[in-house]
Amino acid sequence: MKIDLHTHTYYSDGVLSPAELVQRAVEKQVDVLALTDHDTLMGIDEAILAAKSHAIRIIPGVEISCLWREQTIHMIGLNVDMSHQPLREKLDGVMHSRQNRAEQIAKKLTKFGIPGVEEGVFRQVKGVPGRLHFARYLVSKGYATAPGKAFKQFLARGKAGYFKSEWMSLADAATLIRDAGGLPVIAHPRRYDLTLKKTTTMLEEFKAAGGEGIEVATTNQNKSDQLLMSRLAIQLDLAMSIGSDFHEPCAYNELGKASFLIPVEGRLISDML
């Protein structure tokens, strides 16, 4: 079984429509695909519709931005009930604060001397605006050579286009996902600015708040980090998840591409779906 439990569409900072994403997943022989856009459920109905004529199973999901001790953490909610009112209302709130942040970033970059930011960025946005939209604009206008560079030079804390995000707490995100019938999973656990000790503490608090899983396999993560996270999952009795974090067709990432060696003692989150 090919499983991919972390993907994006153009309703957040991906570039494909939900139908295009599903089509690509079918071509890549993915059996189970979770659509997990940042802070929105907008693409899920379209993905389910597009999957009707195929054997692929779509898991309704979301990637919630939340905060643990000043550190932004991304929490995946798998199999959430899309009609759950508190979830919808909370995500609407995040949408507003993302829109406000995007306006502030646009203002700051304009003041810094970069023309056309507002039109250039908001033209791309079909749902939730994110910093990757700004990064793509900066690259397209030659201000940076790659999105990663645009983050470093313009969008990271302390840079000209930085504006503080307002996210809910880690515990609130876990509760929200659970209340909506979903499974909370910590996305890309090695991508945060946290030591292994702090990561362990964060995961312990996540577990205590109702957390269920860790993404141990994600694209471009080396084998030793994967092994480390698998061991941590077993130690903390969390299930293991797998996701490409696919945003757009490119050389270094593909749907269903992340894979992992399953330690015998480990549990898979896909068995709980």
Strand residues in the chain grouped as ranges (E): 3-4, 32-35, 57-68, 71-78, 168-169, 183-186, 213-218, 239-243
Which of 13, 37, 39, 46 binds Mn ion (CB under 5 A)? It is 13
Which residue, 102 or 187, has its beta carbon nearer to Mn ion? 187
151's contact among Mn ion, ligand AMP, none, with CB below 5 to 8 A by partner kind, is ligand AMP
Of 267, 168, 170, residue with least CA distance to 209: 170
Q: Is 215 a binder of Mn ion (CB under 5 A)?
A: no
> In the complex, what is the shortest distance from the CB of residue 264 to Mn ion, in angstroms, rounded to a whole number?
29
Token pair in block for residue 225: 């980090």
Which residue, 43 or 56, has its beta carbon nearer to ligand AMP? 43
Which residue, 119 or 166, has its beta carbon nearer to ligand AMP? 166
Token pair in block for residue 227: 């092994």
Length of the chain: 273
Which of 11, 37, 74, 176 binds Mn ion (CB under 5 A)? It is 74
Which residue, 125 or 234, has its beta carbon nearer to Mn ion? 125
207's contact among ligand AMP, Mn ion, none, with CB below 5 to 8 A by partner kind, is none
Q: Is 39 a binder of Mn ion (CB under 5 A)?
A: no
Cβ neighbours of residue 7 closer than 8 Å, sequence gap 6 or more: 14, 21, 25, 33, 34, 35, 36, 243, 244, 245, 246, 255
In DSSP terms, 241 is beta-bridged to: 215
Structural contact between residues 105 and 156, judged by C-beta atoms closer than 8 angstroms: no
Which residue, 133 or 207, has its beta carbon nearer to ligand AMP? 133
> In the complex, what is the shortest distance from the CB of residue 2 to Mn ion, in angstroms, rounded to a whole number?
18
Cβ neighbours of residue 93 closer than 8 Å, sequence gap 6 or more: none
List residues binding ligand AMP (CB under 6 A): 13, 38, 65, 130-132, 147-148, 151, 165, 247
> In the complex, what is the shortest distance from the CB of residue 133 to ligand AMP, in angstroms, rounded to a whole number?
8
Which residue, 56 or 150, has its beta carbon nearer to ligand AMP? 150
Residue nearest to ligand AMP (CB): 130
Of 202, 174, 218, residue with least CA distance to 5: 218
Structural contact between residues 58 and 22, judged by C-beta atoms closer than 8 angstroms: yes
Residues interacting with Mn ion, by CB under 5 A?
A: 13, 63, 74, 187, 245
